[in-house]
Structures are given as C-alpha cells and as structure tokens.
C-alpha cells in the first residue's frame, strides 16, 4: 500500500501522560500536514511541513504539542501532559510538489482517548 500511513491507529492514555503519533507520507510528497478532528466537526489544521521545515502552526497547537519531520520524510506529533480535551482523531495528510492548486492525501488517522 503506497498511501499515507499512521501509527498507532488507536491510543488510550491517562491524563498527564505523553503520547507520540507517527505519520508516513506518500514517498514523493514534500508537504505534510497534521489535523485534529473532534466529533461533529471537520478536520482543523494544526501544522504543516515543507520537507523538514515547519512552515506554519495553528494557534490550536498549544505548547504541549510538538511536531517534527527530521529528514523530510516521516513526521511525529507529540502531546505532552495530555488532557481530556485532547481526545480526538489526529489526521495526517501529504501533498506532492505544487502543480496547480493542490489536493491532499489523508491517512486513516490516530484516534486518541484521554481518560
């Protein structure tokens, strides 16, 4: 399968614990995005990378959240000191070098439940 993959698919953690999610984009895609989706809402942008550079961060991304893409390939999203309000689906997407306006290719997401 050559699509975007995310691991783990599900994560249950206790409040206050740290969690880390991984995203592997489609290999030739240079842009990578993270989103958060809560029940009844559409995906909300968190941050995006062009190659290894993190170019934009949403104000939704509090200090407890950090994302990396060290070699311009896979990316990790870490949440420190998780809170119950962090419970959501975390989606990753990638897109190829710009031709026209772009479309994004989404992974299946990581569902986080903070108890």
Partner 1 sequence: DQQVKQNSPSLSVQEGRISILNCDYTNSMFDYFLWYKKYPAEGPTFLISISSIKDKNEDGRFTVFLNKSAKHLSLHIVPSQPGDSAVYFCVAQSGGSYIPTFGRGTSLIVHP
For 94, the token pair is 């990638």
**36 binds partner 1 per the rule CB under 8 A:** no
The C-alpha atoms of residue 46 and residue 21 are separated, in whole angstroms, by 14
| Binding flag, residue 2, partner 1 (CB under 8 A) | no
Interface size with partner 1, residues (CB under 8 A): 23
Q: Which residues, in sequence order, are CB contacts of 8 under 8 Å at separation 6+?
A: 21, 110
Choose, by CB under 8 A, the member of 11, 19, 21, 31 that binds partner 1: 31
- Which 40-59 residues touch partner 1, going by CB under 8 A? 40-45, 48, 56
Question: What's the Cα-to-Cα distance from 99 to each of 6, 21, 40, 85, 103, rounded to whole Å?
Answer: 26, 29, 33, 38, 10
- Give the range of 59-67, 69-77, 79-87, 106-114 binding partner 1 by CB under 8 A: 106-114
| Least gap, CB of 3 to partner 1 (angstroms) | 9
Closer residue to partner 1 (CB): 45 or 74: 45
How far apart (Å, rounded) are the C-alpha atoms in residues 76 and 91? 12
């Amino acid at each position: 399968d050559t699509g975007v993959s995310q691991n783990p698919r599900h994560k249950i953690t206790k409040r206050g614990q740290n969690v880390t999610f991984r995203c592997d984009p489609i290999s030739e895609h240079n842009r990578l995005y993270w989103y958060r989706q809560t029940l009844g809402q559409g995906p909300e942008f968190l941050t995006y990378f062009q190659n290894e550079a993190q170019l934009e961060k949403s104000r939704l991304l509090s200090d407890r959240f950090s994302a990396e893409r060290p070699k311009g390939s896979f990316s990790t999203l870490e949440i420190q000191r998780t809170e119950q309000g962090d419970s959501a689906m975390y989606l990753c997407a990638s897109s190829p070098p710009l031709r026209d306006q772009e479309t994004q290719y989404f992974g299946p997401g990581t569902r986080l439940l903070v108890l």
